[in-house]
Structure formats: C-alpha cells, structure tokens
Structure 1
C-alpha cells in the first residue's frame, strides 16, 4: 500500500485512528530513561516499550557528522536542492506577497546583516531568513519530498544562507549543514506522516523548523546537549495550517520555520534549556500533534540511508498532485499540435486526493489557480507549459483559459494512484486522444536533469537578474563546495 493510500485508509477508519491514539497513550512515558541505539530502536508498536531517546540520538548524529561523512549521492542532491531553492527564491522576490512582507517588517528590522535574494534590501538574519523563505515558496515551485509532501529547502536554506552572511562559513560546511538540516526535517516528517498532515498541519512548517534549528546549530558548533535543546526549542514552535493554502499565509509557514529555527539555535548556544525528550516524550511534539509516532523512521540507518537523496524538483509551479495532468496535457498538445478551439472536452481520471487539494473550479487569482486541476490542464494545453507565468492573475482570468477550463472534467477513480492520471481529450471532429501518466516529469522515477534545473532557474531569474548575473549565480550554486564563503551566493543574487 502506498503512503497516500495508507493515509486514505486511516482517514476512513475511525477504529484504526482511535486504536492508534490509545496505543500512543499507553506506550510512552514523560521522561524515558532507556535509550535504544540508532541501529536498533524500540519497535513502534511494542505494548510496554518506551521510545528511544530520539531527540538525543538525532542531536548526536547532527553534531558528529562532517562533510567528509556524507555519501556522494547526498552531496550531489544537496547541491541540486540548493540550486533549485536559489532559483525559486530569486523568482519570487518581487511578488506582491514579498513586497508586503518587506514593507511590514522594514521599520522593525534589526541590523542589516543579510540581504534578500533578488532584492537590494538587507535585514537582520531572522527577518532575512523569513522573507527569503516566503519568497522561495510563494510560487509553489520549490522542492518536494514526495513521501511526506514536505518542501525541505525553504526552512533550511533560508536560515543558513542568512546566518552565513553574519558569520562566514565555507561552502563545504554550508552544504553539510544543508544536507543535515534537510535530513532532520524529513526523518521527523516520516515519523508522523500521514496522520499529522491529515488533521490539518502544514508539514513543511511544522517539520521545517527542526531542519532550520539543526542546520543553523551545526554551523554554530553547538554541543550535543545544546543541539538537544535547539531541537527542543524548535519543537515548541510548530507553525502552519493547511487552511492557509491558496493565500499568502501558505508561504509564511516555511519562512517562519526558518526564522524560528535560527531563534532556537541562538538560544541553545547560550545554554537556554529545554526538555531532553521534546520529540518523543508523552507530552512532547510527536504525541501532541499526531496519532502516529514511528520513531524508527527517525533513527533507523541514520547516517547510511539519506532521505534527502529522495528530494524532487518541480517542473510546474503548482501543487504536486496536478503535475501528472499537466504532463499529460503538454504531451498531447505537442504530439498533435492542439489548439484550444479544436477541443470539445477533456476527461481525466484522478486519485481522490487531487480533488481534495486542487478542486477549485473557478479560481479568481493566480494563487487559487495553483490549486485548480481545471485551470492547470487548460493552461497546459493553451501554453504548453506550467511555469509561474501560467499561474498569474491574468492567465486565470483570460477568457480563452476560462472557456477551456469549463470543458475539463475531473473524475475520481480510487484505482488511480496519486502520482498517475488517465487523460482523454475529445476533439470537435470526434477524435479521441489518450494519455496515461505513470510517473510525471520531476518525480524520483523521471527526475529533472541538471540542464532542466538550469533552464527553470534562468526563466525564474529573467527580468530580475541580467543573463550574465544569472549564469554566474548558477555556477556558484553548482560549485558551492569550492566556495571559501557561502555568502558569495547571497551576494551574487543582488540585482545590479
């Protein structure tokens, strides 16, 4: 059973949910005093076992893991994660959402310690991290860990790039912190997904704060005990609800997670204490916000299996569940040279989650269009693309788009997996064109190439940075490990 199929089962099984909650209350104690090693944690379903000291195990891993310990695939995907994140942050830097955040916070910002990507303003590191986090998520074009739907880079990269301008760090140390921060948030997310997400939490914010605290604390050189406290202080700051989707508030969540993580690490560096078991204790983070706690997801194969290598990058600037439909529409358009006036109607069979998350039939603004399967399919046929320009207010309201959107029929079919779509376009001349997508471009099975990431980056930076600047910034991202100071990336993203 796939992760999301399992989530669907749990949502429809009240008995299962109640049993899970009851088991959690019976199993976990406030202050566990027995530790299980990272390689052999206590089974999650054991009736009398206490959980391993997850917070400390994780802290020890973060503190003791150096750049030289990272396997080559983790380093490579860390570089690609950075590359994608810088591109989307620059691309979103002049969105109205970011303009409003800059205007609201400018009078209250502290010393000008770090700059904003794609802009000339400088803020204190926590506000810079917040705004860059907002900027990188506003287009819904950032990286995605498909197992949890976490967008990992925003909370972590936003935090440590800001910190690296305040306290210089090498490119190798920066990349190491980025990989460890992403690994931290993804493993914690695995432990509570899907129940945590189902109840309404925006998992990028709630888990991202751990990644931000871990990565920033790593660059600060925290001790194991201080890292335990940093993770504990992060646990006290969960942020983000799914009700915010479709509004500016959604991008607030990774931005706030980035700033909150820095806040936690700064306090911990001064020995500001927390509980030593804030993740796993009976009244700690995992038991408070989820009816599922599988601590094996956090501790098993820690340091040998890297969740961060499963990170993916969006070719389309919208919710990930729409991507198969956009992919199918573009392929049919290109294969048959379709135009909107040829089409009688479009039928697509989709997983129930697609309608749950992206069922807006009449979006009025670009942000709503990102959560409309109907708009996404229509604009993919019209433009042959699904980038940020296809989700503008103007495109959503365009009469040609609206007319085709009304011809799109999305039919729920539980037999279709979330990563699939079955599309049939019926033309006015009676022809039927069919496309089934097993795995869309951008998935782990069909990943974006480095060249595709570069093109995406260049498209996003167009009009903000000159082509020469864009090329130089791309090169710095690809060669981050050779940089004497990671702050060179932020400085290269200043418009001239």
Structure 2
C-alpha cells in the first residue's frame, strides 16, 4: 500500500548529479581566483594540523587498532604516526583524527566541516599514486564545492532531522575529489557520486562520543571507495541525487536545487570556509569569545555571582550539556566553554581535557552559568552578563566570534594554532618544516614529500 508523504516528490528536479559530475571532471585546473586558492591552502593546512594533533588520542589509537586487523597494505600515511595502511583505512583514520578535537574548519552556512572527508580521501589517494600538490588542491576545491552545494540545498531541514551533515554530504565531496584525482570522465564521475549517495554517514545522537569524528572518516572512506568502484566500471543511478527516491529527496524536505546550479564554476564554497580558534562546537564560540573579553576586562571567577547568557535555541540544542563527564562531552557544553574562557582566556584542546572538565573549580564555575533561549539572537551571537558579588553587572555582546568570516583568523593566528597542535606530536622543528611545505604545496611534485614529514620516525 502506498503511503502519503508530507512533501510531494519533485519530479522536475534539474539533473544535478550530471551537472556536478561534469563540473568536477571538466573544470580547469586552478580555475578560480587567488582568494579561492588562498583559502584552499589555508583549509588544507588547518586540516593537516588538526589531524596530526589528535594522532595520539584514544580515538585514533582505537581506529588504528581496528584497521590493522584487516592486515592493510602500507599504501598511505596515518598522519602523526609511524603506521602506514591501505588508502581506505588511511582516509578513515585521518578523517577521524582530523575531527576528534572538534577544531577543524567550518562552512558556516551549513555547519559542514568540509575538509575532513575530502582532504582525508584525496591525500591518501594522491600519496599512493605519487600525485602532486596542484592535483590535490584542485580535488579539494572541487570536492568541497560538491559537498557544500548539496548541503546548501538541504540545510537546515536535513540537519534538523538529526543528520550530521558533515558525514552525510562528505561522502559526495570525497567521491568527487577522488574522481578528479583519478581523471574519471563525467559519466564515471556521475557513477561515483551515485555510489556515494547510497552511503550517507552519521546522526547527531553521536555528538559527544568518538563516533562523531568517525563520521568524516567514514565519509572519506566511502567517497574514496565510490570513486574506485566507478573507475572499475561499477554503476549507479545517473539521477542518484535528485530523483524522487534519490538522496536529497529522501533525506530532506528542503530541495533548493538552485543552490547547486547558481554560479557553478564561478562561486566556490571554500571561499566561505572558516577556521576554529576554539576546540569545540562552533555555536559555543561566541560565548567563549565573550568570556575571554570579560577576563580581559579584569573579571575573575572569584568575583562572579553568576553569568547570564542569552543565546539562540540551537546553542542549547547542540551544546546544552550542563554536567559533562569527559573532554568529548565538554566540547558540547556551552557552560564549560564559558568557564574555560573566563579561567584560561582560551579554549584549546587542553581546556577540554578530561582533567579540566572534571576539575572541581570548573564544575563549580559551570554551575554559575545560566543560559536562556532568545531566538531574536542570531545563532552566531551571544549576549552575556556577568553579575558580580558586589552587585555590578558587566555586559558583553558578540555578534560574530573570532574565527568567523567577519573576524577571520589571520595567517599568523592559523600558523600559531597549527604549531600548537603539531609540536607536541612531531616537535617544533618538524612543525616548521611542514608549514614551509604547505606554503609551497601547489608546487610539490609528489605529495609523499609532505606525508613523509608527517611521520614521527621519518
């Protein structure tokens, strides 16, 4: 028996699978502005630092142990570690580690973290094939464009249903990027996208656990395998994205097809990428920014009677954990973020360690943070009031946090972030070498020149 649906199927959708495939396969190398090229380099550099930084995290340790059960061939580097594994496993593990600290890039229009799935897949493939930096940057820009354009088409409905949009669009970006590296024609690229469309990864219930960073890793592996299958002649529906029972219409009631087609090949979504200064969910960043401003104005935890926040409802929906029990849960607690900002003046990975989250002083300060929903306030904003024990009230309003498109991290700030992540794993000298190599990435003839630097024993 046929069942009714709330939104009728759209039988007149444009052929976005074919359009995106042709775009991916035929767009000229370096066919964009200097500004887009700069963001591609910054995106890769930021992703690499995040992946190396978490190389020794227990999530990375578990992932490496799991893939080694498969006895993988040593085809590609696990960043920040001495192990080399097959390219699918490298895509998985590097995707996991790049998102473990929740410190990676964010396409703010959709809250997609686009580099994790795409860069993890294309670097593994490029390393195996000995391809150069120019090809990797091309694949990164085009793969991110595919993922984010499809995300634009569905957001926020798809996200509000509970999908983790980084994983559930990332497999498309990874498939596109790898198809580009493999030199697939438009038809086989469409097949790669079609295969990937049957593999969306991730639901938001997993936030605060190791399975959240699994999502970009799983998407990277799925996209890579989709491209390899298509290269070998495996087939899929040529309308896998737009058909009435295709990916977009199955997982979303919003179907803004023009988001795929508008200015395709002229406007690149990587231009709207941002880089986190704080190692946690993006919606906490305005509150941390405000708390650090309180600290800069001389407010100390001992003076505080309470801190009042007015935030958009999404902030508490995503990061409303009042009593986080470990570092991963702390990344989804606006209360802990505020406490970290006030106590430390920063919120890097150290401030989200298990020890800091469970520090009695931090627990006590979190209890004095009160958050109220006010949907007249934008998702990117916060209104904070510190009520002091002497009765004084100090207000801070943040409309756009540091790291946003309106207040982007400078190259120097991005380098400082990279060094803070990589130095504990590989040492300061190696971090400097990797920075220099990333600065000339477009001219690298073989990406193995870079990945060799990313192994401790190299």
Q: Do they fold alike, i.e. is TM over 0.5?
A: yes
Q: Is the 8 A contact 1:161 1:487 kept in 2?
A: no
Q: Residue 433 of structure 1 aligns with which residue?
A: 394
1:283 aligns with 2:273: no
Q: How far has the Cα of 1:413 moved from its partner? A: 1.2
1:63 aligns with 2:25: yes
Question: How far apart are residue 171 of structure 1 and its match?
Answer: 1.1
Deviation beyond 3 Å, 4+ runs, structure 1 = 21-24
Matches within 5 A, 1:351-370: 351-370=312-331
Residue 39 of structure 2 is aligned to residue 77 of structure 1: yes
SS at match of 1:364: coil
The corresponding residue for 1:154 is 116
- Greater shift after overlay, 119-128 or 408-417? 408-417
1:450-480 CA distance string (max 9 Å, x none): 1110010111113211111001101111221
Farther-moved stretch of structure 1 (469-478 vs 152-161): 469-478
Mapping of 1:75-154 within 5 angstroms? 75-154=37-116
Which residue pairs with 2:332 in the alignment? 371
Mean Cα deviation higher: 74-83 or 61-70: 61-70
Normalising by structure 1, report the TM-score: 0.90
For 1:229, the equivalent position in structure 2 comes to: 191
Aligned to 1:462: 423
- Counterpart of 1:273 in 2: which secondary structure? coil
Residue ranges of structure 1 left out of the alignment (5+ in a row): 1-18, 29-49
Range moving further from structure 2, 463-472 or 64-73: 64-73
Asked if 1:321 corresponds to 2:283, the answer is yes
The alpha-carbon deviation at position 69 of structure 1 amounts to 1.4
Q: Match for residue 209 of structure 1?
A: 171
**What is the alpha-carbon root mean square deviation over aligned residues?**
1.2
Counterpart Cα distance in 1 of 2:320 and 2:14: 41
8 Å Cα contact 2:87/2:128 also seen in 1: yes
User: What is the aligned partner in structure 1 of residue 447 from structure 2?
Assistant: 486
- 1:446 matched to 2:407? The reply is yes
Matched position secondary structure for 2:308? strand
| 1:53 corresponds to | 15
In 1, Cα distance between the equivalents of 2:354 and 2:326?
A: 5
Give 1:310 deviation, angstroms. 0.1
Distance 1:352 1:460 in 2: 32
Residue in structure 1 matching 2:374, options 413, 427, 430: 413
Task: Say how many residue pairs are matched.
Answer: 454
1:299 shift after superposition: 1.2
Over residues 117-168 of structure 1, what are the superposed CA-to-partner deviations in whole Å (9 max), with x where a residue is unaligned?
1100010000011000000001111100011110000000000111111101
* TM-fit CA distance, 1:67: 2.0
* Contact in 1 for aligned 2:30/2:37 (Cα 8 Å): no
Cα distance in 1 for partners of 2:280, 2:31 equals: 35
Q: Cα deviation per residue 1:19-52 (whole Å; 9 max; x = unaligned)?
A: 9x65542x31xxxxxxxxxxxxxxxxxxxxx111
Q: Distance in 2 between matches of 1:452 and 1:67?
A: 29
Going from structure 1 to structure 2, the CA distance change for 1:362 and 1:219 (only over 3 Å counts) comes to same
Q: Deviations over 1:358-389 (max 9, x none)?
A: 11111110111011111110111111111111
Of 352, 365, 368 in structure 2, the residue corresponding to residue 391 of structure 1 is 352
- 1:247 equivalent in structure 2: 209
- The 8 Å contact of residues 158 and 165 in structure 2, kept in 1 or not, is answered as yes
How does the TM-score come out when normalised to structure 2?
Answer: 0.97
Partner of 2:161 in structure 1?
A: 199
Aligned to 1:307: 269
**Counterpart contact for 1:354–1:373, Cα < 8 Å:** yes
Q: Give CA-to-partner distance per residue, 1:59-86, whole Å, 9 cap, x none.
A: 1100111223122221111001001000
Question: What is the alpha-carbon distance in structure 2 between the residues aligned to residue 333 and residue 422 of structure 1?
Answer: 16
Match of 1:264 in 2: 226
8 Å CA contact retained: 2:53, 2:424: no
Q: Secondary structure at the match of 2:426?
A: coil
Give me the whole-angstrom Cα distance separating, in 2, the residues matched to 1:67 and 1:135. Answer: 29
